[in-house]
């Protein structure tokens, strides 16, 4: 399971823990980014802005993680 989670992390985050994006409906609200924390058996996904960070989801499988990332950045 961890191997599949790592493939999703590599696909979207690469070498960096931050994935910067521009939400289409948010104009001039600052920088938006996703970042993750690897907790060994799970990935914690966080949404960050200039105002602070909000925890989003704990993902135990790659499909859920990838779907959540897609829903947020696209």
Q: Which two tokens stand for residue 45?
A: 């996904």
Using a cut of 0.85, tell me whether the model's pTM lies above it. no
User: How do the pLDDT tens digits run along the chain, 74 residues long?
Assistant: 578 888 999 999 988 888 888 766 555 556 788 989 999 888 999 988 878 889 999 999 999 999 999 988 88
Structural domains in the chain (count): 1
Contact 1, 60 (CB under 8 A): yes
Number of continuous H segments (helices) and E segments (strands) in the chain? 2, 4
Domain that residue 42 falls in: 2-73
Q: Which residue has the tokens 């914690």?
A: 44
């Amino acid at each position: 399971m961890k191997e599949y989670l790592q493939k999703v992390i590599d696909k979207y985050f690469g070498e960096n823990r931050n994935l910067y994006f521009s939400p289409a409906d948010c104009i001039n609200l600052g920088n938006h980014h996703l970042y993750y924390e690897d907790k060994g058996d799970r990935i914690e996904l966080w949404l960050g802005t200039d105002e602070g960070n909000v925890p989003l989801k704990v993902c135990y499988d790659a499909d859920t993680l990838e779907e959540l990332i897609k829903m947020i950045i696209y």
